[in-house]
Amino acid sequence: MVKKLNTGFVQIYTGDGKGKTTAALGLALRAAGAGVNVYIQQFIKSAAYNELRSIRKIKNITIEQCGRGCFIKRKPKRIDVTLAEQGFRKASRHIMSGRYGLIILDEVNCALKAGLLKAEDVTKIIRTKPEDVELVLTGRYCPASVMKHADLITEMKKIRHPYDKGIPARKAIEY
């Protein structure tokens, strides 16, 4: 039997600060500990980030990636759009399946900003999702058209970051 939530909200974690994916993963751990099945679709990402090793050990969390992660500093190619669209269709099926109580669309806001997905498609799934599914959207640049449908919005604001001093991403902390 799938554990269900009484009420599923729409949460958005956005902004230029660190911690959006980390917050979503923390929520996934909490939900999994409560017996809720969790599905995470990571857009744009393709690398073997260290959180994947941990999460894949938890039986009621499924995490998948649908990107190449290689266009961040240049224009995406058609394959990037295709991968994002395929990932979104798959996530949409999981949202409607009744198998998951928590769905995380990690970096979906960045996929919207890059033109990989359409905001209308994201707002449609928000409006039609089952009432007992919690939906979390992460990433910078969340469009206002999507935010107006959210129940909870957290903006992570960068005040200071080691990157500003030229310190590269650190294993176990940033990836």
Q: Is residue 92 part of a domain?
A: yes
Query: CA-CA distance, 8 to 22, in Å (whole number)?
Result: 20
pLDDT tens digits for range 124-171: 999 999 999 999 999 999 999 999 999 999 999 999 999 899 999 898
Residue 73 scores a pLDDT above 80: no
The count of other CB atoms within 10 Å of the CB of residue 167 is: 10
For residue 81, give its domain range: 10-130
Q: Give the whole-angstrom CA distance, residue 154 versus residue 151.
A: 10
Q: Tell me if 144 is assigned to some domain.
A: no
Cα-based distances in Å from 47 to 53, 99, 109, 119, 158: 12, 27, 19, 25, 24
**Which pair of structure tokens corresponds to residue 117?**
């997905």
Q: Classify residue 175: in a domain, yes or no.
A: no
Query: How does the average pLDDT of the chain come out, rounded?
Result: 94
CATH of the domain at 109: 3.40.50.300
CB 119 within 8 Å of CB 146: yes
pTM greater than the 0.75 cutoff:
yes
**Cα dihedral 159/162/164/166 (nearest 10):** 180
60 domain-assigned: yes
* 141 occurs within a structural domain: no
For residue 155, give the DSSP letter.
E
**pLDDT category of residue 47 using cuts at 50, 70 and 90:** confident
- How many folded domains does the chain comprise? 1
* Residue in the structure block whose two tokens are 């224009």: 75
Q: What is the pLDDT of residues 117-130, one digit of tens each?
A: 999 999 999 999 99
Half-sphere exposure of residue 163: CA atoms within 13 angstroms, side-chain side: 9
